[in-house]
Amino acid sequence: MENLFVIVLFWIIGMLIASSIASSKGQSVLAVLFISLVFSPIIGIVATLVSGKKQEVLNQRLIKQGVMKQCPDCAELIIKKARTCRYCRREFRLI
């Protein structure tokens, strides 16, 4: 019975690690949790490490958090407090 508890505990910890990695890369946490639950947390961790970042999802998170904004001229992501866009040199007024 103790062995089963230890296995389940490590399984859950592995699932949490896999979902944390997926979240930091902008991937679907639910999909990774499902893969980790059905197959193995090790497979879930490897799958998230092998797959790339979803930069658009990460960019949208930064915009929602108020850290970054999108330049209206060139559509590049810049720091919210920036006075000029570092890509197209458009100047912004501070409000």
- Same domain? 61 vs 93: yes
- Same domain? 40 vs 79: no
pTM reported for the whole predicted model = 0.70
Return the pLDDT at 87: 92
- Same domain? 62 vs 39: no
Expressed as residue numbers, the domain containing 37 is 2-50
- Same domain? 71 vs 44: no
Residues in the chain, pLDDT under 70:
94-95
29 vs 5, 64, 93, CA distance in Å? Answer: 24, 19, 38
Return the pLDDT at 94: 66
Q: How far apart are the first and last CA of the chain?
A: 63
- Same domain? 61 vs 38: no
CA distance 23 to 8: 22
